[in-house]
Structure 1
Amino acid sequence: MTTALDHIHLMARNNAYANERLYEACCRLSQEAFAAERTNFFPSIRETLNHNWEVDRYYLDALREEGRGLTVFDAPHLETAAELKEAQELLDRMLIGFCDGLTKTDLDRKVVQDRGKNGRFEETVANTLLHLFQHQIHHRGQVHAMLAGTDVAPPQLDEFFLDFDRHPAAEKYL
């Protein structure tokens, strides 16, 4: 890896890979276990994954300068792991496509983010993407921990970057 742009490309792919692995596990849960109240930042696996889906839509809207802003949060939550998996896969493909279309100069370009009563703020594309990736990692970790309290084992999510340790499912993203 030689540039920040290369890193962004890889992070978008790692994000999709980790989401795929996590959703494979979540889809093996019963609907009851998926929606069950648990101790965490959000009260269930379902609510945590809905939050990630919402926030990805929000930042992708800002990055693509589509102008929907906070209205992306008006969509109803999805109920099943299968519905969320499909919706997240679409966003992950869109995010990879967005990142693949970036040039080095795009990373410093400012995009507007609507924060409602707090106003509208400009942030660079690079910082927005780094925040989005970190946000996903943070909440995937929470889902991972919640899965440990179910009969579905949490999947390994960090077998992406190292050649000798790469999970076979990661290959399709490289």
Structure 2
Amino acid sequence: MITAADGLTNEDRWKDRGAFFQSIAATLNHLYWADALILERVKGNARPEETIKHSLTSPANWTDFKALRLQRNEEIEEWSARLNDADIDGMLVWYPGDGSTRIEKPKALCIMQLFSHQTHHRGQIHAMLTAAGAKPDTTDLQMLEY
């Protein structure tokens, strides 16, 4: 999808297309932020300081976004390759950004949410790219080449 978005102008990437986070760029930024939030949570680290509102506009520079996204993807790959049963078992406890309510969920469910959340918004991005005239790569398993 990044390659398909490369073919668009910056204006086209930020154009409001009626999606939940309005634009291709804002939705990609949201995923970048949410991946950090969930990943740091399941690793037992502090949450990122950026808020969801901040995540929709930053990073604003496309080249910066691509570099950061690549870095985050590598971080997720390295982390997931090291997962073991102890990392997945048990409960995860956190407080939302406003600190209002204690939340406790199974770690395995939280890890699954990292990827499920990506899938949800990547579908929106795919639709917006297609509507913008870009040609995203196929996401159908039988069509993927390895």
Superposition TM-score tier, normalisation by shorter sequence: 0.7 to 0.9
Equivalent in the alignment of 1:99: 80
| 1:148 match: secondary structure | helix
Q: Which residue of 1 aligns with 2:17?
A: 38
TM-score (norm. length: structure 1): 0.72
TM-score by length of 2: 0.85
Tell me the CA shift for residue 43 of structure 1: 1.0
Partner of 1:110: 91
The answer for the alignment partner of 2:58 in structure 1 is 77
Identity of aligned residues (%): 26
Which consecutive residues of structure 1, in runs of 5 or more, have no partner in the other structure? 1-21, 169-174
Q: List runs of 5+ in structure 2 lacking aligned partners.
A: none
1:155 equivalent in alignment to 2:133: no
Q: Which runs of 4+ in 1 moved over 6 A?
A: none
Distance in 1 (CA, whole Å) between partners of 2:40 and 2:118 is 16
State the distance in 2 between where 1:108 and 1:45 align: 35
Q: CA deviation at 1:122?
A: 2.8
| 1:121-160 alignment runs, 5 A limit | 121-159=103-141
The Cα shift of 1:100 comes to: 1.5
Residue 31 of structure 2 corresponds to: 52
Residue 79 of structure 1 deviates from its aligned partner by: 1.4
Give the C-alpha shift of residue 131 in structure 1. Answer: 0.8
Contact 2:29 2:59 (8 Å CA) reproduced? yes
In the TM superposition, residue 70 of structure 1 has moved relative to its aligned partner by 5.5
**Secondary structure class of the residue paired with 1:78:** coil
Deviation string, structure 1 residues 75-116 (Cα, Å, up to 9, x no partner): 761113332222122112111221111112321133333312
Does the 8 A contact of 1:34 with 1:81 survive in 2?
no
Q: Which has the higher helix share?
A: 1
Mapped partners of 2:121, 2:43: distance in 1: 23
Structure 1 residues 109 and 101, CA gap change in structure 2 (3 angstroms): farther
Ranked by relative contact order (alpha carbons within 8 Å, sequence separation 6 or more), the top structure is 1
Cα separation, 2, equivalents of 1:71 and 1:114: 14
RMSD: 2.0
Q: Which residue of 1 aligns with 2:145?
A: 167
Q: Distance in 2 between matches of 1:82 and 1:97?
A: 23
C-alpha separation between the residues in 2 aligned to 1:49 and 1:101?
A: 26
